[in-house]
Each structure stands twice: as C-alpha cells, then as structure tokens.
Amino acid sequence: MSDSTLLTATEISGLIERRDVSALEVTDAALRRIALLEPLIHAWAWLDPDRARDQARRVDAGLAAGLDGPHLLRGVPVGVKDIFNTADMPTEMGSRIWAGFRPGNDARIVFNLRYDGAIIPGKTRTSEFAVHEPTDVRNPHQLTHAPGTSSAGSAAAVASGMVPLALGSQTAGSCIRPASYCGVFGFKPTFGTVPRTGVLKTADTLDTVAWFARSIDDVERLFEVVRVRGRNYPLVDANVVRRPLTEPIAIAVVRGPHWSDATPAAQRVLTDAADHLRASGRFAVDEIEIPEAAEIYDDHELIYCKALSYYFRGEQRNDRSKISGVLTGMLERGEVTTPEAYHRAVARQAELTRRLNEEFRYAAYLTLSASGEAPRGLQSPDLPDTCKIWTYLGMPALSIPAAAGPNGLPIGLQVVAPKYADYRLLDVGRAIVDALGVRAAIATPQEAGQKVSGHLA
C-alpha cells in the first residue's frame, strides 16, 4: 500500500472492506499528508491526530471481529466544516466570539458518519458563521489564491489530497463555488434531505448541508450515509430504484442573469461543454432563460440578511468588534427589513420553489459553478454566479471540475435537477463527466518541496 491519499473514498472503502489495507494505515497516510501540507494550506481549524488514530483502531478491531457487513465509508477520513457540532472537538463557526465553544454532542450527520465507521481527523476552516468573509485558507492549486468562501477548508482539504471527503454547507454558494475554485466535486442535495440537527442555524429556508469529493461515486456514498430515510421521503427513496437514463439526455443550458459578469474563459467552458455534449450524440442540449431568476437574487439577499439579523442580533450588539464588516453589513440590512417584508419573501420563495420545480422540463440544467477561476489574493470578493438561484429553489446541484482557466486554476460546471431527483442528477453528472472526459484534480503545491501531483478519475 503506497499512498491511499491519492484514492477516492470508494476505492479506499473497497480496499478496507477486503482487508487489503487497514483503517489505521489510511488514517496515518491522511495525517502524514495533512502534516506535510497544512502549514501551506491552513485548511483546518482543529486537528486531533491521536483521536483519529484511536477511531481507526476501533474500526480495525470491528473489522477483525467481523461483526457486521460492509459499510460505505468505514475507515475513510472525512473532514468536517467547523459549523457541525462535534462531541470531542470545538465548534467555533469561524467566529472569535465562539472561540473554544464545545456543544458536547455530535451533529446528527457526524453521528451517522462515525456510526458508519468514517474517521474524523478534525474540523475544517469556515468563513465566519458560514457567510462570505474571506478566510486565510489557500487554494492548493495556487497558494496566492483563495479556495472560495465559505466552506474554504473543506474544499482545500479535499483538493490537496488531505481527505477524500469533507462536509460543507450552502446558504448561498458556499459549496459549489469553492468546489469550482478547487477543482473537486461539490454537491448540495435537495433542501431538506439531509438533517441539520446540531448544525449552525443562519437561515431556516436556505441552509443546506453539502460536501466535497473526488468522484461522483464518493458524493453518492456520503449521501447514502447521511440522508433522511423513511415513509415520509418517498420522493427521494423512489429514486433509489433507478431507471437508467435514456439517451439523448435532455439538458438545458442556463446562462443566468449574471452571465456578463463571468470571465470570457468561464463563458467558453460552458459554451464549449454544451457543444461537446451536443456533438457526442448522447445529449439533447437546449438553451433556456429563467425569467424569474433575476428577482430571486434580491429575495435571497433579503431572506438571508433578515434571518441573520434574527439569529446574530446578540453578536451584533455585544461583540461588534469581533464580527466582520461583511457580516455587519448584512446584519444592518436585515435589521431595517420589516418582518412583513421577510414573511412575503419566504412566501414567494415557497411559491416560486413549487412552480419552478414543477416547470422543470429537463433531466438537468447546465450552468457555471462560479463566474471564473478563483480570484487572486485572499481578500478578493467572489463574482456573482447562479448558485443562489438553486439554493433558494431547494434544487440539488453538483459542481463538476470541468477545465482549467488561463491562470491554470480550475473552473467548474454546475448541473442542477428538480427537487428530490438527487440520484438522477448524479447519473446525469456521471454521463457528463464521461462525455467530457474530466476528473477531479489533487494538487500538491510546489512549495511542499515535492512534485507529486495525483489525478483521479
């Protein structure tokens, strides 16, 4: 076993279930790579190597005892964004105000991951309260660039090969954007299909658990471990009995209201991909407009700011010096929004969500994940993109690492499906990955003194 840090979670799991490698070996390899790269990347808010090894030893003991059948992520290291409760590590939410806070329990999905046998080496850095404030996390592809907010540490940890999977979240574009910037897969499932018990609350109708991975199979494995189940979720469960996609797969390109903000290189990634998919003969590619999209941005902003101002009023009044300008601005906008305007906005969100999901006529929409490569410098703001639209509408979204831009940094394509069609979305994603011949990039910064750079399909 040379280096499991270059394998996908699915590959690691296969080796572990066959006893070809131990959970401890996998964990040690991850910890070595973290030790090597963390001084450059700054992906982690908290690391606990000893505890991770203990967890791995327990997993190995269970494997040796042969007590139960295969798990999906047994022995697989998974990074956890520092907005999810963990019983054995702090949960600081990227805020100095909450420094050292330990809620004492695991978020439900952390419980689910541990129960399945996943190893949690630590907590990844997040923008303050998972909003937009830049972090000091570096983009593994170029350390002079940011990985994108807010799930910065999780995106960078996966992109640098520290862990094959990491939890993030998305209230605006906090998963899809950094996935694009870092050249890995990002997945935001249908709103409401992943539990938020023990998760930071910022906006009830927008907050969505999301994650980063090196392959779509890995994305799906994590979904299987954490998603809700039961008779109340037939729409998700029905998709488990999958109908194969019939070709040509009908997709629609959506440029979105901020198309002109996208860089020419990014625009070309989307138009070239559309041409390529059309030419492959496996896809029927239309181009559509969503006229309602423009108004969604304003409503998204209104809802987000008002919800933040409800939940962070205490921080705003008592710890003004410890909150960022970005958040302060949003809290102030929220404060002057009337409750009535907020109620009208969430009512419009519910109505538009119902209608635009009903009117979804394609297997998927195809759009950009971000408006270009990661901007230079750690403090640069992100350009407007389409992420907020799909978050607002509760639709599942997948970012596929599609190309490299003129600066050598990744650019992602976003695939979107109607609510509860998560499994079909992943299948469409696989077909696109296959047709475009793209894959996630694992970056080892040259500054690490090595020239190793693994690429994984």
For residues 302 and 344, is the Cβ–Cβ distance under 8 A? no
Minimum CB distance to its own copies smaller for 105 or for 324: 105
Q: Kindly state whether residue 307 participates in binding its own copies, applying the rule CB under 8 A.
A: yes
Please name which of 396, 350, 365, 369 lies closest in space to residue 289, comparing C-alpha atoms. 365
Angle at 169 between CA 343 and CA 108, to 5 degrees: 95
Minimum CB separation of residue 227 from its own copies in Å reads 8
Per-residue binder mask for its own copies (CB under 8 A), 314-333, x = binder? xx-xx---------------
Q: Among positive and negative, which fits the CA dihedral 312, 316, 317, 319?
A: positive
Side-chain-facing half-sphere of 159: CA atoms under 13 Å? 35
- In whole angstroms, what is the distance from residue 259 CA to residue 385 CA? 8
Q: Which of 100, 244, 291, 325 binds its own copies (CB under 8 A)?
A: 100
Minimum CB distance to its own copies smaller for 219 or for 433: 219
Q: Which of 19, 96, 320, 343 binds its own copies (CB under 8 A)?
A: 343
DSSP labels, 388-447: HHHHHTT--EEEEEEEE-TTS-EEEEEEE--TT-HHHHHHHHHHHHHHHT--EE----GG
Size of the residue set binding its own copies (CB under 8 A): 43
Q: Kindly state whether residue 51 participates in binding its own copies, applying the rule CB under 8 A.
A: no
Q: Which of 49, 195, 248, 454 binds its own copies (CB under 8 A)?
A: 195
Minimum CB separation of residue 17 from its own copies in Å reads 15
Please name which of 351, 349, 359 lies closest in space to residue 418, comparing C-alpha atoms. 359
- Which of 141-149, 345-353, 358-366, 440-448 is the region at the interface with its own copies (rule: CB under 8 A)? 345-353
Q: Which of 5, 13, 27, 112 binds its own copies (CB under 8 A)?
A: 112
- In whole angstroms, what is the distance from residue 163 CA to residue 169 CA? 17
- In whole angstroms, what is the distance from residue 191 CA to residue 320 CA? 32
- Please state the three-class secondary structure of 201-226 as a single string: CCCCCCCEEEEEECCHHHHHHHHHHH
For residues 92 and 100, is the Cβ–Cβ distance under 8 A? yes
DSSP labels, 170-195: ESSSTTHHHHHHHTSEEEEPPTTSS-
Minimum CB separation of residue 190 from its own copies in Å reads 13
Please name which of 439, 436, 421 lies closest in space to residue 278, comparing C-alpha atoms. 436
Minimum CB distance to its own copies smaller for 115 or for 380: 115
Q: Kindly state whether residue 346 participates in binding its own copies, applying the rule CB under 8 A.
A: yes
Please name which of 182, 175, 169, 168 lies closest in space to residue 214, comparing C-alpha atoms. 182
Minimum CB distance to its own copies smaller for 100 or for 437: 100
Minimum CB distance to its own copies smaller for 297 or for 342: 342
Minimum CB distance to its own copies smaller for 85 or for 154: 85
**Range 200-229, binding its own copies (CB under 8 A):** 201, 204-205, 225, 228-229
Q: In the numeric block, which tokens belong to residue 35?
A: 């030790």
Q: Kindly state whether residue 259 participates in binding its own copies, applying the rule CB under 8 A.
A: no
Minimum CB distance to its own copies smaller for 230 or for 244: 230
**Range 261-280, binding its own copies (CB under 8 A):** none
- Which of 44-52, 161-169, 194-202, 239-247 is the region at the interface with its own copies (rule: CB under 8 A)? 194-202
Minimum CB distance to its own copies smaller for 195 or for 248: 195
Q: Which of 3, 20, 96, 101 binds its own copies (CB under 8 A)?
A: 101
Minimum CB separation of residue 102 from its own copies in Å reads 5
Please name which of 395, 377, 376, 379 lies closest in space to residue 387, comparing C-alpha atoms. 395
Contacts of 319 (CB under 8 A, 6+ apart): 97
Which parts of this chain interact with its own copies (CB under 8 A)?
85, 87, 100-105, 108, 111-112, 115-116, 192, 195-199, 201, 204-205, 225, 228-232, 303, 307, 310, 312-315, 317-318, 339, 342-343, 346, 349-350
